[in-house]
């Protein structure tokens, strides 16, 4: 198996929008299928971290793929449906707040990506992972791409899938805990969220108790 590799951001100029260049070069080297990997939810105080893995159809790539953070919620929803319709394979996985507390957020993010790859119904020969780290335990070659969601359409697709899935999960949490406003901030440390925590306390198994300011704080 080829050794995993990582790149340096100083060696590359980030394009305005991601393209399929990394994937086509991999195809030329005999490394196909290629899966893009990304996660959503490393920074919030509450909720899971969710990873997406996507193998795009080279002949049917949705128009408008980009880093999910540079898209509106409406654009993400439209592209999410197009990705599910057109991609060769899509998989998601998540690690809950308790799991994050147990193994830390970086390891949880990488484990969620590993599980997402293993959940694909097509085995990739190469995984392109957003960031500086490669998930351990992959059964294929892998490459880490700094700002990969702005450089690779496969990673951009994975970022959209992960973000939409996580937002839907947090919206569901809002239905049960409406006074926290999860549907508005998705668990991030906004003023509204911090005020709700001050008034009501953190929620067991939903807030990340290893994150400041929760350590040793009683839960709801």
CATH number of the domain enclosing 102: 3.30.420.10
pTM, two decimal places = 0.90
**How far apart are alpha carbons 133 and 142 in whole angstroms?**
10
* Distance in Å from the first CA to the final CA of the chain: 48
Structure tokens at 151: 């450089």
- pLDDT at residue 2, as a whole number: 47
Identify the three-state secondary structure at position 19.
Answer: strand
Query: pLDDT band at 109, cuts 50/70/90?
Result: very high
Q: Is the pLDDT of residue 13 over 90?
A: no
> Does residue 126 fall inside a structural domain?
yes
Express each pLDDT in 65-106 by its tens digit: 999 999 999 999 999 999 999 999 999 999 999 999 999 999
**How far apart are alpha carbons 68 and 75 in whole angstroms?**
9
> Does residue 46 fall inside a structural domain?
yes
Question: What burial class does residue 78 get, using C-beta atoms within 10 Å of its C-beta: 0-12 exposed, 13-18 middle, 19+ buried?
Answer: middle
> Does residue 174 fall inside a structural domain?
yes
Identify the three-state secondary structure at position 52.
Answer: strand
- pLDDT at residue 217, as a whole number: 52
How would you label 121-137 residue by residue, b for 16+ Cβ within 10 Å and e otherwise?
eeebbbbbbbbebbbee
> Does residue 220 fall inside a structural domain?
no
> Does residue 208 fall inside a structural domain?
no
> Does residue 213 fall inside a structural domain?
no
Quote the DSSP letter at residue 212.
T
- pLDDT at residue 4, as a whole number: 52
Identify the three-state secondary structure at position 209.
Answer: coil
Per-state percent for the chain, helix, strand, coil, to nearest 5:
40, 15, 40
Q: Which residues contact 24 (CB under 8 A, 6 or more apart)?
A: 58
> Does residue 219 fall inside a structural domain?
no
Share above pLDDT 70 across residues of the chain, in percent, rounded to a whole number: 91
The total of structural domains in the chain comes to 1
> Does residue 210 fall inside a structural domain?
no
Structural domain boundaries enclosing 84: 5-200
């Amino acid at each position: 198996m080829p050794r995993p590799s990582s790149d340096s951001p100083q060696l590359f100029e980030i394009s305005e929008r991601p393209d399929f260049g990394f994937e086509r070069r991999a195809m030329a080297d005999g490394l196909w299928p290629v899966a893009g990997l990304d996660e959503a939810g490393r920074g919030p105080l509450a909720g899971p971290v969710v990873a997406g893995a996507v193998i795009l159809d080279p002949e049917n790539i949705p128009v408008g793929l980009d880093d999910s953070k540079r898209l509106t919620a409406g654009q993400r929803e439209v592209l999410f449906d197009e990705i599910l319709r057109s991609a060769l394979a899509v998989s998601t996985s998540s690690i809950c707040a308790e799991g994050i507390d147990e193994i830390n957020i970086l390891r949880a993010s990488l484990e969620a990506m590993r599980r997402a790859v293993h959940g694909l119904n097509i085995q990739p020969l190469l995984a392109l992972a957003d960031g500086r780290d490669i998930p351990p335990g992959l059964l294929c070659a892998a490459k880490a791409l700094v700002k990969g969601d702005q450089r690779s359409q496969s990673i951009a697709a994975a970022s959209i899938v992960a973000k939409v899935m996580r937002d839907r999960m947090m919206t569901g949490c809002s239905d049960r805990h409406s006074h926290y406003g999860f549907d508005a901030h998705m668990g991030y440390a906004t003023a509204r969220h911090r005020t709700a925590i001050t008034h009501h306390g953190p929620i067991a198994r939903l807030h990340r108790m290893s994150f400041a300011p929760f350590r040793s704080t009683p839960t709801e």
